[in-house]
Structure 1
Amino acid sequence: MSDASAGPAELLEDLRGFCGFGQRTQTDTADGIPYFVNEYWTSAQRKSHPIHEISYRACFKAQLPEFFIQRMTGSGGAVLDPFMGRGTTPVQAGLMGRRALGNDINPLSAMLTRPRLRAVTLDDITRALGTVDWKRGEITRTDLLAFYHPATLERIEALRQWIARRAPPDGPAPDAATDWIRMVALNRLSGHSPGFFSGRSMPPNQAVSVATQEKINARLGITPPERDVAELILRKSASLLRNGPAPEADHALSTGPAWEIPLPDACVDLVVTSPPFLDIVRYADDNWLRCWFAGIDVRSVAIDQHRTEAAWTAMVTRVLAEMARLLRPGSIVAFEVGEVRRGKILLERAVWQAAEGLPFNRLGVMVNAQNFTKTANCWGVENGAKGTNTNRIVLLRRE
């Protein structure tokens, strides 16, 4: 890690004195936990690099890892997210010239993250799409006609076969263009606008069930229109790459539980992460359509659903023990959680408890105040009611 990075004392002083948006930090102590409350990054949408614009449910903004990467690491420093999801932390680390490390139990995460850490251009993508035989597609699931026009579904099947030959799910990383095309296709499968392969479906970061989609079609009196799959992939690719080609970043991504990451001891300079919040989000259900396209058996993805705070805390203890193994002495964990069950459970206190007895100094909780609910109402009344209004980030220092 570069000597340009700050230490924990400087970080806490920065939090106390921060007034980047015209407000001074409010400090407090509750149940022995120091709190630092302010708006530490903008609440405006689409203010980060466009390459982050990959939809995935319950993901934080790129400004969150950027805040810590900028302060706590130097050029070449290693940044890890053990619950990487769509890859916001490793992608931001790569953009900032750091080593991008990531892990997730869901194989989709590597498919969504790795392509944005490899050098690829729009010309590369165009040439690769030109090798797809779009007439080879045969519909294997007629129930998916609830989402797609028959001609569109045939094209999706043709692309799916092309990717399966070049990039089997359990095989090595494919060439960069194929990797990229799969990533974009996974994010265009269903959504609410003509930019997606499907007819109108909500929301764009998860797939509703076939039965729900049939109800949407009936309620709106619509049938799925025909879409040009290749053209939509190129259009989305051009948007993601509008600030230039994807950069080549030093990276290592793995698939597995967050407490068994295949990295050597003391190799990480910073951890920025956010785990699943109890049973609020059902990631396997959300991603069933993506898993179908990618050739992943959704039943094999062992995503935990923690229904009690005690079970969730025990999981966090296992993860923090692994982070203690991987972090260099003096390095920081920024562990983002949120208010759940209408604020009745404050998960930062569970993380604080989980770290007890492990080789960490517990520094405090940083609260990035938001003026809107992160969990959108379009996810449904239940999830909207259980959503989070703030980023609440537990800060731990490896002894």
Structure 2
Amino acid sequence: MKKTDEFMILNEEDWSFAGEDTKYLTHGFHPYPARMIPQIANRLITRYSKPGDLVLDPFCGSGGVLVEARLLGRNSVGIDINPLAIIIARAKTTPINPKLILSSWRELKEKIGEDIRSLRFREFDVEPLRIPNISYWFKPQVAKELTIIRHFLDGVEDSDLYHFFATCFSVTVREVSNLRTDEFKIYRLPPEKLEKHNPNVFQIFVENVEERIRRMAEFYGLAPKDVACDVLLGDSRKLPLKNGSVDLVVTSPPYGDSRTTVAYGQFSKFSSLWLGLDENIVTNVDKISLGGGLRKFKNLPSETLHTTIEEISRRSKERARETLWYFTDLFECLEQLHGALRRGGYCCFVVGNRTVRRVQVPTDKIIVELGENLGFKHITTIYRRIPSKRMPWENAPENIPGERCKTISGESIVILAC
């Protein structure tokens, strides 16, 4: 088949995957913002790589691309700047013999259950972990029982088992907190719901662990054990990879606008703090991510970007600067990816075109222009509608009554070749 015929078929295929299960196997381990659905990753990896190749996701988040790479017999490397994402991704991508988990879980469950029962019968008391504003975000009994669970998790010496149980604990923290768990940003439950909110922490943790043991058993039975998956805490503006070592890149970069789109740091904050992750990093995830802080501007080679920045600047110079910071960072990542990718390899970006001050930012077209300047060849861009999403279809980011603005309702899959 000629390549031109192949890319015509790509655009004619159904990429919405409406109605399909996006949480099968370990994909259902933990919620995560703006998660690439596994069906997209699976199709791209299948089409643009072969078994034994190395697949890179430089913004791996909770590791969905890496899970699919392992299932398809590809080696993989995932990088993310968020410490919680690293724990979740390692848990999702590491096949653990369910007998080993069950053996460890029986002992862990008994010890945790015994201490929580003693706490409830007031046979002893517990000083809760020091979490900022803990009494506002967690009821006193909840905080004490979470502290007991965390204590026993710290005693799990096997790193694979620790990441598994820590992921279950992270989900539990979200579910038993005073947070509105249907939001990715930090909002407290309204008073009427908060009054009735009395979660059974131990029961919820047990249910979360045992559901994930079932999922892991299925994953363990299907996942090849003879491929490697490395999940690294790091910054994709400085890739720790040799030139030409990567066969395929499949990724969905962050939107670069935590205030009005996705706030990864807010989503991760309390789980990260309860797990004892570095507070300095945890509280600054959004600031150290792409577009999160002051940057030295580069004269970026994209006419579309220049036009877009000028239009945003007429409405808000501050927002224009922030948008340009994001693309300055993204261009640095593209430079790194072009070096790491072997000649003939493909680079696939799944992106949404966000809106800044009611100006649509055509991220897909800008990536193409930036990439072509570096030596990438634009193969095609596939457009897909998102059948369901957690963010609202419309919002009012400037808080002007009666004014509405479209949010991201579709995605572009930009395919570049090196």
Q: TM > 0.5 between the two?
A: yes
1:376 to 391, 395, 399: 391
| Matching of residue 357 in structure 1 with residue 373 in structure 2 | yes
Q: Which amino acid in 2 is paired with 1:272?
A: V
Query: Does the CA contact (< 8 Å) of 1:84 and 1:104 recur in 2?
Result: yes
Which residue in the other structure is 2:274 paired with? Answer: 293
The answer to whether the aligner puts 1:13 opposite 2:5 as a matched pair is yes
Match of 2:91 in 1: 115
Aligned letter for 2:415? L
| 1:83 corresponds to which of 45, 54, 59 | 59
1:182-239 deviations in Å (ceiling 9; x for gaps): 112212322xxxxx334673316x362xxx42x5243564232323254123233145
Q: Which one has a larger percent helix, Structure 1 or Structure 2?
A: 2
Distance 2:23 2:43 in 1: 12
Q: Is the 8 A contact 1:148 1:225 kept in 2?
A: no
Q: Does 1:49 align with 2:24?
A: yes
Please identify, of 300-309 and 47-56, the stretch whose mean Cα deviation from structure 2 is larger: 300-309
Corresponding residue for residue 3 of structure 1? none
1:388 equivalent in alignment to 2:408: yes
Tell whether the 8 Å contact from 1:284 to 1:303 is kept in structure 2 after alignment.
no
Q: Aligned partners of 1:343, 1:95: CA distance in 2, in Å?
A: 40
Distance 1:235 1:197 in 2: 17
Secondary structure in 1 aligned to 2:283? helix
Number of corresponding residues: 356
Alignment partners' CA distance in 2, 1:345 and 1:377: 18
User: Once the 2 structures are TM-superposed, how far is the Cα of residue 124 of structure 1 from its aligned partner?
Assistant: 2.6
What is the CA–CA distance in structure 2 between the aligned matches of 1:343 and 1:365, rounded to whole Å? 21
Residue pairs, 1:281-320, within 5 angstroms: 281-296=262-277, 297=279, 298-301=282-285, 302-305=288-291, 307=319, 308-320=322-334
For residues 220 and 256 of structure 1, what CA distance do their matches in structure 2 show?
38
After TM superposition, list the pairs within 5 Å mapping 1:68-79 onto structure 2. 68-79=44-55
Greater gyration radius: 2
* Aligned counterpart in structure 1 of residue 165 of structure 2, from 181, 186, 210: 181
Q: Which residue of structure 2 lines up, in the alignment, with residue 170 of structure 1?
A: none
Q: Distance in 1 between matches of 2:64 and 2:149?
A: 26
Query: What SS does the corresponding residue of 1:139 show, helix, strand or coil?
Result: coil
Give 2:241's match in structure 1, choosing from 260, 263, 280. 263
Residue deviations 1:42-98 (CA, integer Å, cap 9, x gap): 122425632111210111101111111111111111111000111111111011111
- Report the CA distance between 1:118 and its aligned residue: 1.9
Task: Give the corresponding residue for 1:347.
Answer: 363
Mapped to 2, the partners of 1:16 and 1:239 lie a distance apart of 40
TM-score normalised by the chain length of structure 2: 0.76
> Aligned partners of 1:111 and 1:245: how far apart in 2?
18
Distance 1:290 1:385, change over 3 A: farther
Unaligned runs of at least 5 residues, structure 1: 1-5, 19-23, 26-37, 168-173, 191-195
2:349 pairs with 328, 332, 335, which one? 335
The verdict on how the C-alpha distance between 1:46 and 1:380 changes in structure 2, with shifts beyond 3 A counting, is farther
User: 2-side partners of 1:325 and 1:62: how far apart?
Assistant: 26
Q: CA deviation at 1:269?
A: 0.8
Offset from partner CA, 1:1-29 (integer Å, 9 cap, x none):
xxxxx9xx63x5333135xxxxx83xxxx
Would the alpha carbon gap of residues 351 and 106 (structure 1) be closer, same or farther in structure 2, given more than 3 Å must change?
same
Please give the root-mean-square deviation of Cα atoms over the aligned residues, in Å: 3.0
Q: Distance in 1 between matches of 2:102 and 2:176?
A: 18
* CA positional deviation for 1:332: 0.5
The TM-score normalised by the length of structure 1 is 0.79
* Alpha-carbon distance in structure 2 between the residues aligned to 1:82 and 1:256: 9
Moved more, 243-252 or 348-357: 243-252
What fraction of aligned residue pairs are identical, expressed as a percent?
A: 19
